[in-house]
């Protein structure tokens, strides 16, 4: 039996390491092949039958309300006498778009960190159309500075045409969103 002669520059530890590395690769390849073959043996089941989706049922066409019937929802006053529902809503002079323009022009952002968001402001339109009792809705503010700026802006709104119920002016509570962008 002849031995293979190795050059003198190979270290014996390197030869041993190379042999163990080759043996490890051989074992890993065999194990991987066995695992792959066992994975490929699976039982296929036929797919479940596909049923067509149910046809949508047609809803009857909505019936247009008759113009001869007018329903007025009765409302009870709050303990302070302000109504939630009225026959004629309070109107801003110039309409809603005019009110939004007023808010945009008069809203001043407070100094400090810039914040973005919506503040809900509650107010009462009195029987004379004046804006009173302006306050931030509980839980719907941003910060004390931004809340104060929104309240100050809404407090400066000019007189509304008051809401009417049974032909007479009544106080009405409203909620306005004030948006800082």
Give the residue-averaged pLDDT of 24-41: 63
What tens digit of pLDDT does each residue of 63-98 get?
A: 555 444 443 333 344 445 565 566 788 888 888 888
Buried b (16+ CB within 10 A) or exposed e, 149-171: bbbebbeebeebebbbbeeebbb
- Structural domains in the chain, CATH included, are 96-180 (3.30.1150)
Q: Which residues contact 108 (CB under 8 A, 6 or more apart)?
A: 149, 152, 153
Give the pLDDT confidence score for residue 128 in this predicted structure: 92
CA distances (Å), origin 75, targets 86, 91, 121, 134 = 8, 19, 23, 23
Place of tokens 């309300």: 65
pTM of the predicted model over 0.75: no
Residue 169 pLDDT > 50, yes or no? yes
- Please indicate whether residue 33 or residue 163 has the higher confidence score (pLDDT): 163
**What's the Cα-to-Cα distance from 15 to each of 5, 8, 29, rounded to whole Å?**
12, 12, 21
Span 8-31, average pLDDT:
71
Mean pLDDT, the chain, integer: 76
Of residues 18 and 97, more confidently modeled: 97
């Amino acid at each position: 039996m002849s031995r293979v002669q190795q050059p003198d520059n190979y270290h014996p530890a390197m030869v041993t390491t190379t042999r163990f590395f080759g043996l490890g690769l051989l074992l890993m390849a065999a194990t991987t092949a066995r695992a792959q073959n066992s994975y490929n043996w699976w039982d296929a089941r036929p797919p479940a039958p596909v049923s067509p989706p149910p046809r949508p049922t047609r809803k009857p066409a909505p019936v247009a309300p008759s113009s001869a019937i007018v329903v007025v929802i009765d409302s009870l006053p709050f303990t302070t006498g302000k109504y939630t529902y009225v026959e004629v809503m309070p109107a801003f002079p110039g309409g809603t778009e005019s009110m939004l323009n007023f808010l945009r022009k008069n809203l001043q952002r407070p100094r400090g960190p810039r914040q973005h968001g919506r503040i809900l402001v509650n107010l009462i339109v009195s029987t004379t159309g004046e804006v009173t009792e302006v306050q931030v809705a509980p839980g719907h503010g941003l910060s004390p500075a931004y809340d104060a700026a929104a309240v100050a802006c809404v407090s400066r709104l000019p007189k509304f045409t008051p809401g009417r119920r049974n032909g007479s002016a009544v106080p009405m509570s409203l909620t306005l969103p004030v948006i800082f962008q």
